[in-house]
Amino acid sequence: MLGIISTDGTVAYLTPRVVVDQPFVDRAGAGRRPEARFRFAQPCAEGDCSHWVGDRCDVIDRAVSSPELHSEPGGSLPRCSIRASCRWFAQWKASACRVCPRVVHAPDG
């Protein structure tokens, strides 16, 4: 699990990484949908994913170019437990990290 969706609609990152196991799944199933409360991450499936276009993840390409998600450059990056293996970071470096807390679902389009 990457983080918890805050009341302001952004992701509050969890560090260290929280591994989702069956007891978590059982508890998270109570109440609102887990996808509405938590932000999950898993290894990039690349060509096996509907968001893979050419040799890139289109979700982060659209997020970085979205005026609604735009973030000013500079400042510190959020603490993230997956940055070393993150597809989005590999594509966009710090720009991906700056919009990532605002990405709760794949952008429409």
Q: What is the pLDDT of residues 19-71, one digit of tens each?
A: 899 999 989 888 788 888 999 998 999 999 999 999 999 999 999 999 888 77
pLDDT band at 109 (very low <50, low <70, confident <90, very high): very low
For the chain, what is the mean pLDDT?
89
**For residue 108, pLDDT beyond 60:** no
Residue 14 belongs to a domain? yes
What pTM value is reported for the model? Answer: 0.85
Domain hosting residue 94, numbered range: 3-102
Burial class (CB in 10 A: 0-12, 13-18, 19+), 90: middle
Angle value at C-alpha 108, between 103 and 109, nearest 5 degrees: 130
Q: How far apart are the C-alpha atoms of 80 and 90, rounded to whole Å?
A: 14
Q: Say which residues have a Cβ less than 8 Å from residue 70's Cβ, sequence separation at least 6.
A: 99
pLDDT for position 50: 95
pLDDT for position 2: 93
Residue 109 belongs to a domain? no
Looking at the structure of the chain, the number of domains it has is 1
Residue 62 belongs to a domain? yes
Residue 107 belongs to a domain? no
Q: How far apart are the C-alpha atoms of 19 and 40, rounded to whole Å?
A: 10
Q: How far apart are the C-alpha atoms of 59 and 84, rounded to whole Å?
A: 19
Is the separation of the CB atoms in 7 and 37 below 8 Å? no
Residue 79 belongs to a domain? yes
Residue 75 belongs to a domain? yes
Report, as an integer, the average pLDDT of 2-22. Answer: 91
Residue 55 belongs to a domain? yes
